[in-house]
Structure 1
Amino acid sequence: MNSLKRATQFMRPYKAMVLLGLVTTVLPVIMELMVPRLLQYVVDQGIRAQNMANIYWGAGLMFGAALLGAVATLGQGVARAQLSQGIAFDMRYLLFGHIQSLSYADLDRLQTGQLMTRISSDVDTVRMFSSAGLALLIRALLMVIGSMIMLFVTDWELASIMLVLLAVMALLLRSLLSRAQPLFAVVQQKAAALNTIVQENLAGVRVVKAYVRERFEIDRFNVGNVDYRDQNIRVGRLMALALPSLALLTNLGIVSIIWWGGTSVINDRLSVGELIAFNNYLMIGMAPLLLLSNILMMVS
């Protein structure tokens, strides 16, 4: 979670943008969580009751919630852009100043590629996280928590089944993350080594040409390039397990809802609108976990 720690430290001068970002992140979540409940109202009190007034009223509220959420999301984009660029600017300035203050011993010990990676790739990682990752992380957590609350409000028995599925998904994500973190660390090392090769070659390109060492340098770069590619492939193969596994669990949840919820509707313990709302809350709660897997990899 190094990116998270770095980002939060540099957010202090931008408290207004942070506050605006939080408000415009929470508001769309609230609006989205209202929609399934409004849909339940339209189905039960409007369609099944054959009451057009309730249908119009519910549809109008759904449109209003969607519009308010869209406006808040627009404000969130503005806040994220200003916040992320400000953080990246401050980090680049401080990092470059720190490099200038390094001792000769530190400069001999550190590779040029490592320093270039720190001031470019690492700063970009923090910028992307503060721009999109942090807002999406907060949104995903709120969506999961909010949907679970609404699931229990709708029907606690069905919600208990979903809670088990969410726990399994969380354990799966934790397992993937623990296996992926060391691989991502190696990717960063390979990237730094590749940057060092390129920088050293460009700095001494005249010497390379003078001694006709082009083929040696090409082979040297190719070795580093292959290592970097292979390590990224290893990470990609591991991450490829996340989406189908989580999608399978989500589909199992839908099947459980259809089976258990359908029986409850037939026995008049649950209304059709409640079943539809429950299914929507399930999708709202499950989808952020797919997003969380990518965000956690971003900040690891």
Structure 2
Amino acid sequence: MIRILKNLKPYKWLVLSVFACVFIESMANLYLPTLMSDIVDKGVVVGNKPYIWKMGGLMLFISAIGALASIAASYFSSGAAMGFGRDLRRKVFVHVLDFSLQEFDQVGTASLITRTTNDITQLQQVVIMLFRMVASAPIMFIGGLIMALSKDAKLSLILVATMPILAGSVLLIMSKAIPLFRTVQKRLDRLNLVLRENLTGVRVIRAFNREKHEQARLQNANKDLTDVSIKVNKVMAFMMPIMMLVMNLTVVAVVWIGGIRIDHGAMQIGDLMAYVQYIMQIMFALIMASMMFIMIPRASVSAHRINEVLDMKPVVFSEGNETADRKRGTLEFEHVTFRYPGAEEPALSDISFKAHPGEVTAIIGGTGSGKTTLVNLILRFFDATSGTIRINGVDIRKCTLEDVRSRIGYVPQKSLLFSGTISDNLRFGKEDATQAEIEHAARIAQADDFIKQMKDGYESIISQGGTNLSGGQKQRLSIARALVRKPDIYIFDDCFSALDYKTDRDLRAALKEETKQATVIVVAQRVSTVMDADRIIVLDQGKIAGIGTHRELLATNAVYQEIVASQFREDEIA
């Protein structure tokens, strides 16, 4: 929690202003009972009306100062807390952007969303309370105690009996509540996960008539969160009644014993009235402290979860600052092996090959053969367990992540577009691309025709996830986005599957001319996609089963022959 609060450093002057305002407010509140005591003893009892008016006016003035200080404290504390939350969200988001896929898998996307929103909101609320109460509660407690002792020290022995009861009750309740707060946040993660899956997978859910099943999943997750929330609130519900009971019994005891002391002439009426006010202030200071005890445990859980993300060091990070510009467009794998964390067997074993500019290198294999893993290693979503990957002759681990990825034009298997215009999406990899460049890339990708048929052309709006486009249109825009970048290496990860035969043929012909200065990596499952490649790498269970042209592999490689036989008739193979 203390580590998180260090993010308040940029707002130190606001924080100091809050404490100054709270101090003024507290001192004003402590002075008012003494003024009231003087009015009763020196004005009301003796009938001195001018004194009553004089001290009454002073009370109004002190009250106004306290009110203004309270308003200023609220203003300053809100500004600091909101700025703190904004900065912390940005810090978490920027840190998460550096995560490899391994960290995302470890924490979970739903949990990261919860930590960036709900957990930081919890901290913001606590920060506001801390500003007001950390300064106010001690001042009111200590100041009230001093003022009460100055009025009647013997009467203060009542506090000696009641305060241990109060403190013990709070500690007992919090010992039960803190573990429950941790469970609340975990259940909230689970609810967010289920809700996110339902929203992103709504088409699949409806297609398979699984609405009732998913409703039941959401209800179960919601019920789990509700149950633990009710449980923690039941525990916390005991706190306020206990505190109010102890406070009221203390006041009754003070009035009873104070009345006896007034009857014996050991105390004045005004002093008793002021004493009751100070007792109330002391008890309210304890109540404020207990409110902090309600919020701090949950906030400490949130702080721990945020620190957990900030402390997480990406497995993939820049080890050097070399620039991959020695041999433009070359890609080399040298005895590369990769094993996913916790996996018994490696996903890729001893992969070695070279790809050069002007060549098309195709990677083919069955499901689970390691094609996507190989692409992830090129993009440094993961780092190889052993072996070396070189781009342009430089080990990618000696380059910055930005430099490596800036030299790659990646078209993913699942086309992903962002909300905004078509132009915005095509400029995603090159923000300064001209209109002529994006139109040229769209023509190569066979997307220009359908874009111009849209109402606003290149300024047409794409909805979230590209849901207002067909699968083939999204694939062509994804290809155009990579072409705009003009990278050294193109990676087409099984991204031609939604295209019809004519569009596929025209696109390949246009791509061949456009990418002749770059290295092209094509990942596919269909033989028709890779037949014309200069080099075909056949993967089988994470190992290279063969490298060669279509004709060479068809004549000598059993794994490739099996793939071809599963997709073509005998007369077509011949």
What do residues 72-92 of structure 1 show as CA deviations (whole Å, max 9, x unaligned)? 112112201210111011011
Identify which range, 110-119 or 222-231, moves more after superposition. Answer: 110-119
Amino acid at match of 1:229: T
TM-aligned CA deviation for residue 228 of structure 1:
0.4
* RMSD after superposition: 1.4
Equivalence for 1:100: 97
- Distance in 2 of aligned mates of 1:5 and 1:289: 26
Equivalence for 2:154: 157
TM-aligned CA deviation for residue 5 of structure 1:
4.6
Equivalence for 2:236: 239
Give the 3-state SS of the residue equivalent to 1:11 in structure 2: helix
- Distance in 1 of aligned mates of 2:130 and 2:221: 30
Q: What is the aligned-residue identity percentage?
A: 29
Matches of residues 22-171 of structure 1 in structure 2 within 5 Å? Answer: 22-171=19-168
Matched, 1:252 2:249: yes
Label 1:76 to 1:176 Cα distance change in 2 as closer, same or farther (>3 A). Answer: same
Matched, 1:217 2:214: yes
- Distance in 1 of aligned mates of 2:102 and 2:277: 60
- Distance in 1 of aligned mates of 2:279 and 2:69: 24
Counting matched residue pairs gives: 297
Contact kept? 1:112, 1:199, Cα under 8 Å:
no
Give the 3-state SS of the residue equivalent to 1:50 in structure 2: coil
TM-aligned CA deviation for residue 137 of structure 1:
3.6
- Distance in 2 of aligned mates of 1:281 and 1:63: 19
TM-aligned CA deviation for residue 190 of structure 1:
0.6
Contact kept? 1:265, 1:272, Cα under 8 Å:
yes
Contact kept? 1:91, 1:123, Cα under 8 Å:
yes
Amino acid at match of 2:136: R
Unpaired runs of 5+ residues, structure 2, are 298-574
Matched, 1:273 2:270: yes
Amino acid at match of 1:202: L
Amino acid at match of 1:214: E
Contact kept? 2:35, 2:55, Cα under 8 Å:
yes
- Distance in 1 of aligned mates of 2:137 and 2:211: 50
TM-aligned CA deviation for residue 290 of structure 1:
2.6
Give the 3-state SS of the residue equivalent to 2:261 in structure 1: helix
- Distance in 2 of aligned mates of 1:268 and 1:50: 20
Equivalence for 1:201: 198
Contact kept? 1:92, 1:123, Cα under 8 Å:
yes
- Distance in 1 of aligned mates of 2:260 and 2:3: 48
- Distance in 2 of aligned mates of 1:196 and 1:274: 60
Matched, 1:283 2:280: yes
TM-score (norm 2): 0.50
User: More helix per residue: 1 or 2?
Assistant: 1
Contact kept? 2:18, 2:131, Cα under 8 Å:
no
- Distance in 1 of aligned mates of 2:225 and 2:62: 47
Contact kept? 2:184, 2:225, Cα under 8 Å:
yes
Larger Rg: 2
Give the 3-state SS of the residue equivalent to 1:97 in structure 2: helix
Equivalence for 1:263: 260
Equivalence for 1:179: 176
Contact kept? 1:32, 1:66, Cα under 8 Å:
yes
Identify which range, 68-77 or 136-145, moves more after superposition. Answer: 136-145
- Distance in 2 of aligned mates of 1:200 and 1:98: 24
- Distance in 1 of aligned mates of 2:179 and 2:25: 35
Give the 3-state SS of the residue equivalent to 2:15 in structure 1: helix
- Distance in 2 of aligned mates of 1:24 and 1:47: 33
TM-aligned CA deviation for residue 49 of structure 1:
1.9
Match among 219, 226, 230 for residue 229 of structure 1: 226
Contact kept? 1:133, 1:298, Cα under 8 Å:
no
- Distance in 2 of aligned mates of 1:97 and 1:110: 16
What do residues 57-114 of structure 1 show as CA deviations (whole Å, max 9, x unaligned)? 2112211110100111121122012101110110110011111112222111112221
User: More strand per residue: 1 or 2?
Assistant: 2
- Distance in 2 of aligned mates of 1:13 and 1:263: 55
Considering Cα pairs closer than 8 Å and 6+ residues apart, tell me whether 1 or 2 has the greater RCO.
1
Matches of residues 7-22 of structure 1 in structure 2 within 5 Å? Answer: 8-22=5-19
TM-aligned CA deviation for residue 12 of structure 1:
0.5
TM-aligned CA deviation for residue 284 of structure 1:
1.1
Equivalence for 2:482: none
Contact kept? 1:42, 1:58, Cα under 8 Å:
yes
Amino acid at match of 2:115: R
- Distance in 1 of aligned mates of 2:243 and 2:74: 28
- Distance in 1 of aligned mates of 2:127 and 2:145: 27
